[in-house]
Amino acid sequence: MYDLLLKNARLEDGSLRDLAIQGGRFARIAPSLEESARESFDCRGMTLLPPFYNGHTHVAMVLLRGYADDLPLFPWLQEHIWPAEARLTPEDVAAGVRLAILEMIKGGTVYFNDSYFHLPETIQAVEEMGVRATIGLFYLDLGQEGPRERLRRQNQEVLQRWKQGHSSRVGLSLNPHAIYTVPEKVLREMGEQARAEGLPIHIHLAETEKEFQDCQREHHGKTPFQYAYDCGLLTERSYLAHCVWMTDDDRRLAAETGAILVANTTSNLKLCSGIFDFRAAEQAGCRIALGTDGCASNNAHSMFSEMKFAALAGKCRYGDPTACPAEKVFSWATEAGAAFVEGAGRIQEGALADAMLLDLEQPYLVGDYHLRSNLVYAGESSCVDSLLCDGHFLMRHRSVPGEGKILADARRVCDKLRKLKEDAR
């Protein structure tokens, strides 16, 4: 007996199929399956596709959506975001994580690669809501020994608990914030630890021109990529966020090491950090994925809008409408983003049973000449009717369990932040 039987699902090639799920994987895909299952779900009128995998974000920053917009990166961070974040309690962060996960589920995302504080609360929310995530063992040098040691101790405690038993949906990464906020000695230690323990690396890299120039001045002409490579941070299990300011040599280095370049086009456009060079990265043989970044700089976790901005920015950079075609952009948001979730990102027998069911009656999907083009250039979160992760429904017919409480809890935290901001004026 199967765990779940999806009936009458339309696949991308237009064929109708039944999909049997067992043990969190697609066990059989056939025109008609009559075997028994514990649960059956009629997908008539819907198309089944791989879901989205968000390659870089700070999910709890959804609490700061609209908190400080239309500012340059460093004043935005130092004068607004970091002071607000210092006021967040673990309970506040938990409320923010649940809100972000709710938003992502509504938009067809089953996985996110996170970089933030209060990891136990984040992991608990991931476990409860049924999504996948790689949670960063976040490290940021605040210039004081006390906070430094506290972060290290907390990260070690989380790592030890994770080793003792965890859901297969939750992974950990070593997560130095950036090359300019973590000392070289610590960066090298984290590179060594990643190799020794088989953990991914997740870091912001080459995000701004200032970072690029400062790195060359402070490290004997090395670019951020060259410096990160020397510190042992570039491997085939590295997620490198932003990667806007790169040389051709940097791209060759990224391709040789197999590191994944995670473009965050919406955030980079908003903060005027620059535009990721999709064409040059692809021609160099780099692995590419998409991420939303945090909601304080993107304002949403929508992979639909991320795909559209990536495609349009890539075309404008070269003045070439054939650059960043929809097929390729969709793959960056789905299969490529699932690189660190073994067996995910594909609809085939034996693959992990992650999938989104699209409502074909949504006006955004008509005319229906090319589905992936519609999804990239016209798609909206409302097109996603239902969502599965690991063979379980996260959303059915646009309904997510407990969403009313999630919204109410997050609003309470936002009310607190609003009052603190008003009192500081």
Confidence at residue 145, expressed as pLDDT on a 0 to 100 scale: 66
pTM over 0.75? The answer is: yes
Between CA 227 and CA 309, with CA 114 as vertex, the angle to 5 degrees is: 85
Rounded CA-CA distance 278/262 in Å is 10
- Count CB neighbours of 352 within 10 A: 25
> Residue 388's beta-bridge partner residues?
355, 393
Between CA 270 and CA 279, with CA 275 as vertex, the angle to 5 degrees is: 150
What the block records as the tokens of 184 is 């070289």
pLDDT in tens, the chain (425 residues): 999 999 999 999 999 999 999 999 999 999 999 889 999 999 999 999 999 999 999 999 999 999 999 988 788 888 888 899 989 999 999 999 999 999 999 999 999 999 999 999 999 999 999 999 999 999 998 666 667 888 889 999 999 999 998 899 999 999 999 999 999 999 999 999 999 999 999 999 999 999 999 999 999 999 999 999 999 999 999 999 999 999 999 999 999 999 999 999 999 999 999 999 999 999 999 999 999 999 999 999 999 999 999 999 999 999 999 999 999 999 999 999 999 899 999 999 999 999 999 998 999 999 989 999 999 999 999 999 999 999 999 999 999 999 999 999 999 999 999 998 888 77
- In terms of phi and psi (left: phi > 0; alpha: psi -120 to 50; beta: otherwise), the region of 409 is alpha
> Residue 20's beta-bridge partner residues?
5, 28
